[in-house]
Amino acid sequence: MTYDTSIYTSSHNPVIGLGKVVMFLDLDYFFAQVEEIENPSYLGRPLVVCVYSGRTEDSGVVSSANYLARKHGVKAGMPIKRAKRLLPSEAVFLPVRLEHYAEVSWRVMTILKKHSDRMRVESIDEAVMEVTETVGGSFERAEELAVMVKREIRQGLGLKCSIGIAPNRVVAKIAADAAKPDGLKTVRPEEVADFLKPLPATALPGIGAKAWSYLEGIGVKTIGDLSSLPIEVLAKVFGGKKARYIYLASRGEFDEPIEEKTTFKQVSRIITLKQNTRDVDEVVSALAPAVNDALARLEANNLEATTLGIIAIAADLRTVTRQTQIRPGTSIEETMRIVRNLFSELLQEEGGMVLRRAGVRFAGLKQRLGQSRLSSYLQ
Annotated binding-site members for Mg(2+): 26, 125
Q: Identify whether 126 is a catalytic site residue.
A: yes
CA-CA distance, 160 to 137, in Å (whole number)? 26
Active-site annotation holder among 35, 36, 126, 253: 126
Contacts of residue 103, defined as CB under 8 A and 6 or more positions apart, other chains included, come to none
CA angle at 242 for the pair 295 and 309, rounded to the nearest 5°: 30
DSSP code, position 41: G
Segment (H or E) for 62? strand 60-65
CA atoms lying within 13 Å on the CB side of residue 28: 25
CA-CA distance, 335 to 295, in Å (whole number)? 10
Instruction: Count the Cβ atoms, other than its own, within 10 Å of residue 12.
Output: 12
Contacts of residue 265, defined as CB under 8 A and 6 or more positions apart, other chains included, come to 363, 365
Distance of CA 296 to the CA centre of its chain: 10
Instruction: Count the Cβ atoms, other than its own, within 10 Å of residue 157.
Output: 17
CB neighbour class for 287 (10 Å; exposed up to 12, middle 13-18, buried from 19): buried
CA-CA distance, 46 to 26, in Å (whole number)? 21
CA-CA distance, 185 to 150, in Å (whole number)? 13
The dihedral built from the CA positions of residue 46, 47, 52 and 58, taken in this order, carries a sign that is: positive
Show binding-site residues: 26, 125
**Alpha carbon distances (Å) from 255 to 122, 149, 244:** 16, 24, 11
Q: Are 186 and 211 in contact (CB under 8 A)?
A: no
CA-CA distance, 344 to 346, in Å (whole number)? 6
Helix axes of 98-113 and 30-38: crossing angle, nearest 10 degrees: 100
The catalytic residues are 126
